[in-house]
Chain A
């Protein structure tokens, strides 16, 4: 089976390619925006005899570049998405790009199975009680405009996939990873805290972090993609034995480098968020409302997480959270954090 992977050169994309090869899927087509990323994938493929990788240089913003990439594939794993940039760019790279890809998929004569890498950000967690369980039944975000642009763009992306599925009837599997981490990834999720005015504000307190080690996440995507019974299903992706934000920060300080952090308790954060929102409104946006009660509830309210549904189709973490953090922190120590 020929499988197309978008975003194949990315942090998660590379791991997906590796896990596909490990599961015996050797005929892969990798879509890359930047062809210099092909080398790392070739190095991975070299470890799997019989692997046949071909590379397509395409910017998914341009519909003309996608059609030929999709032709001949039986499955598409869509891992490309924008992580940063202006709102318009993020929507172009996550939503418009998805629409272009879906148009190419539905224009193929042969049916194509579609696997979307969505995000935890699409769920409406701000409306849940603190500590509530987040699983696949958690409703979608109802007020994306009040969340961050990343969550908004990922929500619209996932909605688009369901809309096209309903209209054209192809097989769709959706995975919603939590915080993907590992060597080469970001050091701190915003769920831990934010750097502000030269200090690291520790905002996550004792909240559990919905971590998933990059290889575990890729394994989940591949297991769900190849499991027939997953059609039409959503799977949240988090690992076992999750650590709290406080534990993560303490381990980071111990294993990577000192961080001058200031812990901000939730009640103080909520009070501050109300003040920031009020000031932003009163001053007609003189300072941006980077904190609002809604955003704070969504990001730092704290939840429980379940991976039971994922395990029910045979997924098991390849790397324990303890081992994953060891590996990530060792890599972070060797390579300083990239500027955001």
Chain B
């Protein structure tokens, strides 16, 4: 049975990413953004005014007490995710969190335990995995088109001069610099949350190295941040490369899966998923055909995108809309949430392993 009452949604943390959440929730059927909160009330106010949210708060306890929220989106820096989650769950709210889930994997585990113990549900904003091409890719895997995965390559580009990059490069006090894994920790969920679902459920071997490609210019905390990350992983009979790359152009965002039957490449930015053509015919004539086959496959992907555009399904955060629809449905129905907690924790474990290797000095406490 569908509960027709609109879920009452609140947001805590009114920084940049909160705009994305407000924009998506505004258009979701069955949900209503009723309150926003930031410990800096002027930031809460601006978000509320711009999105027509009826109430804003400078104190999360006050918001929870007054608003009877069904779901709280926690879009603060990760150092306070655990404490806020406990507070929201105690007030009876489900939680939807920005990545990274917490500062460390053990803390992530505590967070999920707190949600489960409180009888609530949680999810994390792994939105690219719910974008239309990612959903298409999942179906392709489920149909066995690729066979079993042999090797996976997940690549995310980062623009240090872009809107987000500039914010942290121009401010040595930015919270990202205080994360144990700095920039990588803020981004690499999106590398490993693509790889882990394709890995068998055994502990992964993780080898990471990182370096700084840009020149030091400021002589402050911004200079301490590494900007190129390469990770090699293996679990059972599947291997993977994960890369975060701040200097290659274009700023790419891809997943390539080499399977026992076929290979497919998913381009998150260009919204395409295509299988790699292979030579079916002999000799030179055979070598002529595959580029045409690839062109045809990209043309099909383009047609699908045009169809989505015409149906108004081609938003930047289309994946977040889909993920939230599924999460809210799981709350209403009391069913399993769209991303399994085990998967979220496996991603957190891999991230800890990477951080240990690329920033060996323990700095977790200084992040608080």
Question: Interface residues, chain A, CB within 8 Å of chain B?
Answer: 59, 62, 85-89, 91-92, 95-96, 99, 144-145, 149, 152-153, 156, 282-286
Contact = CB atoms under 8 A, between A and B. Distances in A.
A189 to B, nearest CB: 22
A91 B16 contact: no
Contacts of B65: none
B14 A144 contact: no
A177 to B, nearest CB: 23
Contact of B42 (A62, A99, A282): A99
Contacts, number: 62
B213 interface: no
Contacts of B46: 87-88, 91, 95, 152-153, 156
A163 to B, nearest CB: 12
Given A152-B46, A285-B23, A285-B27, A88 B315 contact: no
Contacts of B54: none
Contacts of A86: 15-16, 19, 163, 167
B43 A91 contact: yes
Q: Which of A144, A149, A283 has the most CB of B within 10 A?
A: A283
19 contacts: A85-B166, A85-B167, A86-B15, A86-B167, A87-B50, A89-B16, A89-B167, A92-B43, A96-B43, A145-B49, A145-B50, A156-B42, A156-B45, A284-B27, A284-B312, A285-B23, A285-B27, A286-B312, A286-B314
A283 B309 CA distance: 9
A153 B309 CA distance: 33
A91 B18 CA distance: 14
Contacts of B167: 85-86, 89
A152 B46 CA distance: 9
Contacts of A96: 40, 42-43
A145 B26 CA distance: 15
B27 A91 contact: no
Contacts of A152: 46, 49-50
Interface string B17-57: 01100010011000000000000101101110110100000
Contacts of A85: 163, 166-167
Interface residues of B, number: 26
Interface of A: prevailing SS: helix
Nearest to B52: A145
Contacts of B163: 85-86
Nearest to A284: B27
B315 A285 contact: yes
B19 A88 contact: yes
B173 interface: yes
B203 interface: no
Contacts of B27: 284-285
Contacts of A282: 312
A35 to B, nearest CB: 10
> Top 10 nearest A-B pairs by Cβ distance?
A284-B27, A283-B312, A86-B16, A91-B46, A88-B15, A145-B50, A88-B16, A95-B42, A286-B312, A145-B49
Q: Which of B40, B166, B309 has the most CB of A within 10 A?
A: B40
Given A87-B50, A149-B50, 19 more contacts: A85-B166, A85-B167, A86-B15, A87-B46, A88-B15, A88-B46, A89-B16, A91-B43, A96-B42, A145-B49, A145-B52, A152-B49, A152-B50, A156-B42, A156-B45, A284-B27, A284-B312, A285-B315, A286-B315
A270 B166 CA distance: 35
Contacts of B205: none
Nearest to B309: A286
Contacts of A62: 173
Nearest to A283: B312
A124 to B, nearest CB: 15
B59 interface: no
A85 B46 CA distance: 15
A88 B173 contact: no
Interface in B1-25: 14-16, 18-19, 23
